[in-house]
Amino acid sequence: MKKIQSLIILFAVIHTNIQAQNGNISAENLSQIKKAYANTTSDKAIRNAIANVDINKLADNAENRKQLNGDFSDKVTTKGITNQKSSGRCWLFTGLNVLRAQAIAQHNLPELQLSQNYNFFYDQLEKSNLFLQGIIDTRNKPIEDRMVEWLLKNPVGDGGTYTGVADLVAKYGVVPQDVMSETNSSNSTSNLSRLLALKLREFALELRNIPENTKPATIINRKIEMLGTVYRILALNLGEPVQKFTWSRKNNEGKIIETKEYTPLSFYNELFGNDLINNYVMLMNDPSREFYKVYEIDFDRHMYDGHNWLYVNLPIDEIKNIAVKSIKANKAMYFSCDVGKFLNREKGTLDVNNFDYESLLGTTFGMNKKQRIMTFASGSSHAMSLIAVDIDTDGNIKKWMVENSWGDTGYKGNLIISDEWFSEYMFRLVVEKQFVPANILELLNQKPVRLPAWDPMFSADENK
């Protein structure tokens, strides 16, 4: 009996040691770990401060008091402040802000505000169709299939990308803001998105359960009926899109020089007219993937008949040179980045030296951009319009400025970016092809590397 008890004790000891070796935190491990916190008077002071004050205020870098000012050597002409409020429509605000800057400069307008709500209505309708058709196309696959799973996780949302702007504007045009103004549901999209997603998932199960021998035309007709329900939900929340409207053009002094009736497409063609699909190229700075390659993101688009994301991946200095050319030509650009990193909202600056977390917490944060991407620590989260650059007399870039869509916050509705921050946290830039060197444009002739829709590097811009 004693022998059996001894064996049991021995087994328990061995089992405990194996558990510790397999990665558990043992009592001995915990004792060693706790030694890292000495609980000195300095530690206590820092702990008390962090317990009562926002960590960013405590980490505010006193040695970086020399602020990035609002003086720039080159700046795009633009006027007005926009506010996406509690929505993820930064991509749409950015795209339309780039367009309005062009129209203001080209037609000498005192100001121009475009209706995000108008294009958002069709964005939600087109995304709903994209989802339902995707469910139809994959209905013979098991529900555990990765593509089916991705569809069900992402039926619809208010985030997006430049390709969405280009496809929507090409198909539906644009209208002035006062023609289709914002509503509570467009300013605060969470409830609309939640209810729409819930209904679409319900429709998805119905489509997947349709008998296999059902005629394709019957399935499509049912999908159209489903989209009728979606349209009604959108119309009740956002209002119904206008088909025609009257608009008065004013000169820079505010005097009316012309009043005409327009359709959304005729208004776009007359005031803007540029081919957003074919005359622009999307550039990416992703050091975790091979440079000078073209990448395409499968299916993650806004419209079933629209365009997948297509990028040329370039070193950051190449992108900066192209951006400078565009700004000097008075052309704003769609710009997306990881806006939450080192953002000082009160001062309206993005600078890697804004906060000194290392001194406060007694450790270092040493990953480079490639490592942050690989470990999911950083990725594009927000789109803005790149409108200014400051270059010194020696030709060195000192800082940049973007037009934001957070209302009258930051620096007069804008954010000022240090060049170092630009290198570390800028990801995507959309620019007219005329500013891109021929050797880079030639890369578009290569067969793109196809990446799946769920690749985390290519999530939609949707910062709220």
Q: Which residues belong to the active site?
A: 90, 382, 404
Whole-Å CA distances, 416 to 68, 193, 262: 7, 32, 37
Whether the CB-CB separation of 288 and 370 falls below 8 Å is answered with yes
| Three-state SS at 41 | helix
Angstrom distance (rounded) from CA 321 to CA 307? 27
Angstrom distance (rounded) from CA 79 to CA 44? 50
Q: 421's torsion region: left (phi>0), alpha (psi -120 to 50) or beta?
A: alpha
Angstrom distance (rounded) from CA 132 to CA 152? 10
> How many distinct helices (H) and strands (E) make up the chain?
17, 14
Between helix 264-271 and helix 162-172 the angle, nearest 10°, is 110
Q: Which residues are bridge partners to 389 per DSSP?
A: 74, 400
Least Cα distance to 436 among 290, 294, 279, 291 occurs for: 279
Q: Where are the alpha helices (DSSP H) in 209-338?
A: 216-238, 264-271, 316-328
- Contact residues for 396 (Cβ-Cβ < 8 A; gap 6+): none
